[in-house]
Amino acid sequence: MASLGHDVVGVDVDPGKVARLAAGTAPFYEPGLPELLAEVGDTGRLTFSTDMADAAGARVHFLCVGTPQQHGEFRADLSYVESAFEALVPHLAPGDVVAGKSTVPVGTAEDLARRLVGTGVTLVWNPEFLREGFAVQDTLHPDRLVYGLPSEEGVPTPEGDAARALLDEVYATPLAEGTPLVVTDYATAQLVKVAANSFLATKISFINAMAELCEATGADVTRLADAIGYDARIGRRFLNAGLGFGGGCLPKDIRAFMARAGELGVDQALSFLREVDAINMRRRVRVVDLVREVSAGSIVGRRIAVLGAAFKPDSDDVRDSPALSVAAQMQLQGAQVTVTDPQAVENARAKWPDIKFASSAQEAVQQADVVVLATEWAEYRALDPAELGDLVARRAIVDGRNVLDPAAWRAAGWTYRALGRP
Ligand SMILES: NC(=O)c1ccc[n+]([C@@H]2O[C@H](COP(=O)([O-])OP(=O)(O)OC[C@H]3O[C@@H](n4cnc5c(N)ncnc54)[C@H](O)[C@@H]3O)[C@@H](O)[C@H]2O)c1
């Protein structure tokens, strides 16, 4: 926002994060973000604070706090949204816009808007679609913008029109680039985000279900995905069979969506998402089974190197990471696991202090009985099977992401196993 020319203050309750940001350091790994912070740091247009009072005077207030899964339930935990909103309200002035970005259960915006009645402040729902690893690009050049405005019978109210004009100013640059804009009501805007994530999760679990069929029949899921992907109605993207999805969004979003559907009395509409979730979670167990298979039936005492800890490449985010889940399962089942990741070791160690961590793939695989590729970082895809073969005790690899060339690895003397492939 600051690089687009706006004056921005970022408010967070975490003093550590605010201090790092104020010093111009990104508090997490995101390609391009350090450069962008340095670029806008010199302009003086971006400041950080732990004090919500510093939000006073801004015309647009983006609400972007976390909405994790509630402990022991599928439902979203809205306590962060609640406390941020409550803390913000006293600092708002008539004419201000609050723009909700957090992914929330449908109905949340309506509830927050009711609490702003009489204040002259308008609530807009403006869901966020950025992808970790591409966050800078996705924010500066989004593939679409969605405004959920206060409306009556599908028509924005005068306050809604005024709020839209203000958001159009905020997004003037991407809008001038031709970014599609969908203007709609609160309910649709909130549903867009969870519908999109549910579709993506379903696509991944669909191809992973096909992988199970492939394993039962000797077929190759990667060739199957190529072949069905040529159909433009299907498309090849997000059809990569493997260890499945994780992270701080997809798993909790589909669960919160199911919980909300139940509250709305339409749980049947989303019962398929239970299956999507179950297929996804089975992948993690299946990878451990594959490791057991290449370890002559037992992983007890085996030295296993896991390449990857982040839930996806180009991120240091380990929330609900399939890679760490596999590593932890094997460790708990008696294997001696060493995990490495180009960026996520620090975060992973904080979660699983009992696991051994290494600073490179070469160090992690020393004397390993099995190597597991769990997160498809470019540097792991590019590993040379002959060079790596000199470091391990046994040449056995489980490619949890279907990104290696089986022929090349087998030619170098490796036992190669992957999900959904012979
Ligand atoms: N991470 C993504 O890729 C992504 C993409 C699209 C949408 N979303 C949605 O955006 C929201 C945020 O996700 P995230 O991954 O950035 O979460 P996060 O937990 O990494 O960050 C949330 C931040 O909010 C701060 N916070 C908590 N309570 C606060 C309060 N009362 N006042 C001020 N700050 C407070 C936390 O300290 C933290 O820094 C979620 O609803 C998520 O579903 C995330």
Question: Any idea where the domains of the chain sit in the sequence?
Answer: 51-184, 194-277, 284-418
Ligand 1 mutation pick, 30, 33, 80, 108, max ligand atoms within 8 A of CB: 80
Separation of 235 CA from ligand 1 center, angstroms? 31
Label residue 84 by pLDDT band (50, 70, 90): very high
Work out the average pLDDT over 179-186. Answer: 98
Work out the average pLDDT over 14-18. Answer: 98
Degrees, nearest 5: CA angle 230-232-238: 75
Label residue 282 by pLDDT band (50, 70, 90): very high
The model's pTM is 0.97
pLDDT at 335: 98
Q: Which of 160, 262, 152, 257 is nearest to 202 (CA)?
A: 257
Work out the average pLDDT over 260-277. Answer: 98
Separation of 81 CA from ligand 1 center, angstroms? 9
Ligand 1 mutation pick, 12, 257, 316, max ligand atoms within 8 A of CB: 12
Ramachandran class of 118: left when φ > 0, alpha when ψ lies in -120 to 50, beta otherwise: left
Work out the average pLDDT over 192-217. Answer: 98
pLDDT at 154: 87
Mean pLDDT (the chain) is 97
Label residue 114 by pLDDT band (50, 70, 90): very high
CATH architecture group of domain 194-277: Orthogonal Bundle (1.10)
Work out the average pLDDT over 77-89. Answer: 98
Label residue 148 by pLDDT band (50, 70, 90): very high
- Per-residue pLDDT for 135 more than 90? yes
For CA atoms 173, 179, 182, 188, the dihedral sign is negative
The position carrying tokens 């896991």 is 306
DSSP 158: H
As to burial, measured by CB atoms within 10 angstroms (0-12 exposed, 13-18 middle, 19+ buried), residue 331 is: buried
**Core vs surface per residue 193-216: b (16+ CB within 10 A) or e:** bbebbbebbbbbbbbbbbbbebbe
- Per-residue pLDDT for 345 more than 90? yes
Q: What is the CATH number of domain 284-418?
A: 3.40.50.720
As to burial, measured by CB atoms within 10 angstroms (0-12 exposed, 13-18 middle, 19+ buried), residue 419 is: buried
- Per-residue pLDDT for 42 more than 90? no
Please state, in angstroms and rounded to a whole number, the distance separating the CA atoms of residues 307 and 294: 17
For 288, how many CA atoms within 13 A lie in the half-sphere containing its CB?
21
pLDDT at 311: 98
- Per-residue pLDDT for 325 more than 90? yes
Among protein residues, the one with the nearest Cα to ligand 1's atom 21 is 66
Same fold, 51-184 and 284-418: yes
Please give the share of the chain, as a percent, with pLDDT higher than 90. Answer: 99
pLDDT at 241: 98
51-184 has CATH 3.40.50.720 classification: yes
